[in-house]
Each structure stands twice: as structure tokens, then as C-alpha cells.
Amino acid sequence: MGRAVAAAAEASPNMTIGAQMNRHDPIALGECDAVIDFSQAEATEAICAACVEARKPLIIGTTGQASAQRDAMTKAAERIPIVLAANFSVGVNTLFWLTRKAAALLGEDFDLEIVEMHHRLKKDAPSGTAKRLAEILGEVRGLAGKNDVVHGRVGQTGERPAKQIGLHAIRAGDVIGEHTVIFAGAGERLELTHKASSRDTFALGALRAARWLIEQPPGLYSMENVLGL
């Protein structure tokens, strides 16, 4: 993703890369208007601290943060504007919006399942995008407990509870990213699917977020805020 963002920025007529850092490099922000992070969750706290010190808006596309790292982002957002997104694709964020609408319209008679697929090298599961989809479904249905989301099923699981969200992660090949939300009712099924064929869509979304964020006050924003959804 870092290479994709760099390539997209170089191709943009009104953007210049101020500095690039790889894993284990010291954090040196250089002359820039915003910082884009697609690194490792373990680096989140240090990157947030550096951006707060330099007063730089921060775009975070890294997923898998622990509670302490999420707390660091929340605290940093009191001082600088931050866009935190599990997925910067315009299509995926439209999927978030459609998922919320469909869950509200279809009601509680439809069972909820999420299936996501990514390349075999992805380190975390389920994906941040799948987690966000589950959060949206939980918000609409009033399901907030950990027991309301089941990660795969095995053995004698018994009848499926009505108040449950199924979440299933597939890791194989070089799949960039696929997410499907299934609403299954009596005699009918609605599926909302997004498939990414290139990382360019995420890179372009991150640059779009950067352009938007530099005009915003401190706060923690989502890509849905960027798109006005």
C-alpha cells in the first residue's frame, strides 16, 4: 500500500511526496501538509505522537490496533485531525452506507452473515473492513456484545440464534480484497458485494482523504465523513 500511495501521489499534478519511511526507519515527517500511514499497528502510537508534535493531519489505513493503540489515536485526535479508515475505497464506503440502509429496511427477520477474502500474506483476520461491517450491522440491530458475533462455525453448533452476526475470513492466493454482506430471509436472500481488483483504489482514496483533512479541525473522522455519506 505504501508503494501504491507513493505512485498515485507522483502521478497527481498537485501532490508532492515530502518524505517516505519504511519499517524500522526513524520517523522523519519532513515538509508536508499531511501524513499517510499504511504500516504496522505497532507503530501507531509513535506515529500519532510525531504528528501531534509536528501538528500534521494524519490518515491511518493500518488495521489490527490493540486497545492502547486505539486510545493513542483518540487522544491524538484532540490535537490534530485524523482520518481512520479500515478501507479507503469509495466503493467499500458506499458498501458501508448500503449495509446500514439494508439492515434497517429488511429488519430482524433476515439473518446476517459477512464473508471476506484476502491474499494469503495478510496478517490479521478478520479484515478491518469486515469488522466495520459487523459494527454497522450491530449498531442497526442493537447487537453490541462480543457473543453476538461468531467467527466461523465448527462442530455441533445447534440452531442459529436470530440475534447473531456470522463473520468468516478466507485467506488464499493473491486476492486484494472481497467483502460480501448476506441478508438471508425466508425464501429470499440479498447480497451486497465489493471486489477490489487493484490497490490503486485504496491509494486514490487515501489521497482524497488527505486533501479533505488538511481543511478540518482536530477530531477523529472516517472515510464516510470524507465522502459526505
Catalytic residues: 118, 122
Helix (H, G, I), strand (E, B) or coil at 32: coil
| DSSP line for 36-79 | EE-S-GGGHHHHHHHHHHHT--EEE------HHHHHHHHHHTTT
C-alpha span between 82 and 179 (Å, rounded)? 25
CB atoms within 10 A of CB 48: 25
For the purposes of burial, counting CB atoms within 10 Å of the CB of 209, is it exposed (0-12), middle (13-18) or buried (19 or more)?
buried
